[in-house]
Structure 1
Amino acid sequence: MKNILIKIMSAGLVLPALLIACNNYLDVKPQGQIDEEAATSDPEAAQNLVTGIYNNLWLGNIHGFPFIGVTNIASDDADKGSNADDAAPTQGALDNLTMNAGTSTLNDIWSGYYQAIARANKALQVLEPATIDGELKARLQGESHFLRAYLYFNLVRLFGGVPKVDKVLTPQEAATDQYQTRAGRDTIYQLITADLEFALANLPVKGGEGSQAGKATKGAAAALLAKVSLYRQNWQRAYSLTDSIITGQVGSYSLLPNYADIWRETGKNGAESIFEVQTGINASCDAAIDVYSVCQGPRAGGKRGWADLGWGFDNPSLSLLNAYEAGDKRRDATIIFINPGGTVLWDGFRVPGRDSVENDRYNYKAYHSRTREQYCGNADRLPKNLRILRLGEVLLIHAEAALALNNPGPAVTDINALRTRAGLPTKGAVTRADVWKERRVEMAMEHDRFFELVREDALVPGTAAAAFQVHGKTYVRGRNEVFPVPTTQIQFSQGRLTQNPGY
């Protein structure tokens, strides 16, 4: 092991700390100090610098409990869960779409994402003059651009226009209107697109020379850029990018035969995987997303008397349950049902009946076995890889883009591939409504449903309101497409950050 000194500067603030780096990337901390001078000439230090961006993805306010709230719980996929009073001012407000600028979860998200963006900006600044091997340098720059694009894509979907911070700022720069006000959505999307185009041109294919398991690849850049193009209604670009993935031009990908395996250790970084947040076991037993699995685990209630698995949040909703066709294998791979006589999970763990459990349903995709998968004793940091991009979603994007381009043949092929795996009969023809219905059950509880409803509503007004109404929520068009800008951030900007309409 060796000590590496790193500095991160965000909006002029230097955040010093010491991190211990080993050859295993899991021991590179999300925050800390790295010797920037060494990273310009030492390949290992340069790679550790970029690895620090990846490991920022473990932070709770990036992919943990707050993220679950603004994605799953805020959508019609899930109810808050736990008991009625638990986290009512935060997750409860998100569940009911009654959040406001003071809802603390939103400030947690905002600050966490900009912290990670600051790490990406620092890496790009240090790498620019680096004299390390040219191919390694281009790959590390590509990874940094990809990660920054992913972070900004979530921010722009959550808040609309946000401050565009695309470099390390001096204290003087950080105080200017340019960085204390919101850039427009189009400006942020231009930054995202430019970052992804750079990544697409400079990253290796999955399994190819220079690629590393768990790191961004050309396929990941193509998939995320296709998804961005879908949101921007750039149908031709979305189609061509997804086509390049399906036909193997940017790497070899295929659907896993067993849908449930995608979220188990056996399926991590597998044939269907395009990009995942990597987790594992390290010396301090914290190489995983903070409380991601445990906050969604079955919770004791009623008679109790058993060692429960978590806090009981993010329960699959009745409207999601009703969205599945009879015989769809994806239902039981997505939802843990608490049966009257108890429920035995895939690893043999028995959850007792409803008289001893707080809620009726739980998120199976978030479950991580403590007996059959990696576990070092830290329940708050269960090493569950978070699947961000996978081939199943690429097929859905490809199908929708094909229909928009009046090319229905590929759409039928794409949807039938998913339906066949799910154990459902194939279709002779598909419509956009069919694709959207398939998307909901294929991607259920995967943190995209809220954004998808907003996107679909832009194409077919009334879609989101109808979906939320079934779930007992009121969706107001012109307001609920985005979340409020946190009061704390408006105060930090001395009032220069403007609020979203309706808040």
Structure 2
Amino acid sequence: MNICLAVSVLSFSGCSDFLDRESYGRDTSWKTDEDVMKAVYALYYFVSPNWSEQICGRGHMWFECASDNILIGRDRPAVDEIREFRMSPSNDQDVQEVWGVMYQNVAKANNIIKLVPDLGITPSVKKLALGSAYFFRGFSMLWMVPYYGDDTNGGIPIILDTTPMDAMDSPRPDHVLKNYDQIIQDFRDAAEELPYFSELSADQYGLPHKAAAWAFAARAALYAAQYDQSYYDIVIEMCDKVMSLTGADKRSLYIDPSDKSKSFANLWRKEQNHSSEYIFSLEGDVTNGARYHGVTFVNAGWGLYNTWGYYTPSKELWDAFEEGDQRREATILYPGNHVRFMGRDITFGGYCTDGSITSYTTSHVSAGLINQKFISPWETGSYSEVSNQRDKLWNTLNCCLMRYADVMLMKAEALIWTKGEGDAEAKNLLDDIRERAGLPRDSRATKAQLQNERRCELAFEFQPSRHIDVVRWGLAEEYYSKPLHSVVSKMVDGRIETEEVEVYPGRTFNPTYNKVFPIPQTAFNGTVNLTQNKGY
């Protein structure tokens, strides 16, 4: 049974609060390999049809609207609260759902870790189940911790398989590093149990494997390093484990063998779903899966398909790319440029065959810019690539949450921050990324260059987060004080002309409070010891 099908057909009960106490009772129905694998597939509940919109379509991506990469493509007062750092705990956007769903996942993982070792099942299935449980316990916490825990407020509740019932509602850890330590340990434990990717059968693609565990451990350590730079040593250790893989497990940048100049653009096609660059993804499917790809494209898809247009690029992001950077046009559709959508060739900002102009309007921005990084499933208009339920947005492109370029950037950052700007190995890593983007191999491996390469390479990906990066580098107060812009376009004598316009004024970011967002009000159901983040 493939991952998407397994998640679609299995139904799992919810819980009344994030502690999910009932899940800790022994499940006497687990007797066979198949029973245990159903429990493993339950760890993907967050991307099931129940949550593919709220968790994996938008969810914490609303927090990315606080970054300098993204403008809000549609009027959303509750999202204005987020980007202006005046969010209330009762904010009704999808972010409120993530806490409960991810703590349910922690409870499911804890059940597997607690119960499976004593079951008389096939040893390889036991190891895969335990490894998956450790992986998803760490993964679920890493999904939340950077947004809710810091050095001012402490961490967020740590609930393990060994946590006694009477200690489940305990005070928050006094520092978020305790969360990161637990997350890193979970990924280390996961890697000990999990197979290599090459050892997974085709119908198991989408399950975690050693390289994924090591890469996510590196990400957790990268985020922890803002509080203690010794964590950069763990980043290097974990990245080296991924980068030293050989043979069928070797990870590398995708280079299109037929046209190197299109390598970055063609990375975002279903043919690369399990390529050497995709390290961990949510499996794409036309009847189930993350909806994020269609969420980002132009609102209403020019009447051809109901894409949603919630997140649009800022002019500042466009300007961050160097001239000749192939990633810019692969990521952003600029007025006058072409896109193929639902079987049509469209000149954005130009005249359609019926004489209308291909633009869209909200109170924020007319025409503007569009993220087109993930639009390949919609090119042909074939419903074998996208859901025929035109408001569901399911599609065949995997939602990649960790790829090899990110591993390279994480290691380069760790080298620059620990060994100094100009480090030779960091230069080589950045030059490899630049060369794939069609840029010269002239990296200086400065902090500023690393930060900009990370911005351009990873823009609009569901994970990692530009906002988290800006905050952990200590740049948010400066960057967010500046206005954000877009462009408007018009036809003049048959030519498309653009004009830069200010969309948002600068904002005030308070580094004491605004490093984190308020814990959603619903998280306080069933607990007396959980405390809200200061300033909210």
Which of the residues 408, 416, 421 maps onto 2:436? 421
User: Superposition pairs for residues 70-469 of structure 1, below 5 Å?
Assistant: 70=63, 72-82=64-74, 86-89=75-78, 91-105=79-93, 106-160=95-149, 161-167=155-161, 173=165, 176=166, 178-179=168-169, 181-184=171-174, 185-208=176-199, 212-233=204-225, 234-248=231-245, 251-257=249-255, 258-281=263-286, 285=287, 287-289=288-290, 291-300=291-300, 306-339=303-336, 343-345=338-340, 348-351=343-346, 353-354=348-349, 355=357, 356-358=359-361, 359-367=367-375, 369-370=377-378, 371=381, 374-379=385-390, 380-383=392-395, 384-406=397-419, 408-427=423-442, 429-447=444-462, 448-457=465-474, 463-469=475-481
* C-alpha deviation, 1:218, in angstroms: 0.5
Does the 8 A contact of 2:206 with 2:282 survive in 1?
Answer: yes
d(CA) in 2 for partners of 1:144, 1:124: 6
CA offsets per residue over residues 334-365 of structure 1, 9 Å max, x none? 112343xx843277434565444234222223
Instruction: Give the TM-score of the pair, scaled to structure 2.
Output: 0.78
Conservation of the 8 A alpha-carbon contact between 2:295 and 2:393: no
Task: Write out per-residue CA displacement over residues 280-319 of structure 1, whole angstroms, 9 at most, x where no aligned residue.
Answer: 24xxx2x212x42333221259xx7x33442221001111
Equivalent of 2:60 in 42, 58, 67: 67
Residues 220 and 274 in structure 1, CA contact (< 8 A), matched pair in contact too: yes
Q: Which whole-Å CA distance do the structure 1 matches of 2:136 and 2:521 have between them?
A: 27
Distance in 2 of aligned mates of 1:78 and 1:220: 28
State the 1:247 CA deviation: 2.4
In structure 2, list runs of 5 or more residues that go unmatched: 15-22, 150-154, 226-230, 256-262, 350-356, 362-366, 485-505
Whether the 8 Å CA contact 1:149–1:195 is kept in 2: the answer is: yes
Secondary structure in 1 matching 2:292: coil
* Alignment size in residue pairs: 458
> Is the contact between residue 30 and residue 54 of structure 1 (CA under 8 Å) also seen in structure 2?
no
CA contact (8 A) 2:212 2:402 kept: yes
Cα drift, residue 275 of structure 1: 0.3
Counterparts in 2 of 1:428 and 1:187: CA distance versus 1, 3 Å: closer
- Return the offset for 1:98: 2.4
Instruction: Specify whether residues 26 and 178 from structure 1 end up closer, same or farther in structure 2 by C-alpha distance, changes over 3 A only.
Output: closer
Distance 2:532 2:9 in 1: 37
- SS in structure 2 opposite 1:100? coil
Contact 1:201 1:218 in 2 (8 A): yes
> Is 1:482 aligned to 2:516, yes or no?
yes
CA distance in 1, matches of 2:425, 2:32: 47
Q: Could you tell me how far apart the structure 1 residues matched to 2:449 and 2:125 are?
A: 43
Contact 2:331 2:371 in 1 (8 A): yes
Offset at residue 242 of structure 1 (A): 0.9
| Corresponding letter in the other structure for 2:109 | A
Q: Secondary structure at the match of 1:162?
A: coil
SS in 2 for 1:104: coil
Do the aligned partners of residues 266 and 209 (structure 1) sit closer, same or farther apart at CA in structure 2, a change above 3 Å counting?
Answer: closer
> Under a length normalisation based on structure 1, what TM-score does the superposition of the two structures give?
0.83
2:20 equivalent in structure 1: none
3-state SS in 2 of match to 1:315: strand
| Cα pair 1:402 1:411 within 8 Å, conserved | yes
Measure, in 1, the Cα distance between the counterparts of 2:4 and 2:137.
24
Q: Percent identity?
A: 25
Equivalent residues of 1:328, 1:424 under 8 A apart: yes
Q: Does residue 1:31 correspond to 2:12, yes or no?
A: yes
1:256, CA displacement in angstroms? 0.8
Alpha-carbon separation, structure 2, partners of 1:336 and 1:343? 8
Q: Which residue of 1 aligns with 2:260?
A: none
CA distance, structure 2, for counterparts of residue 55 and residue 167 of structure 1: 19
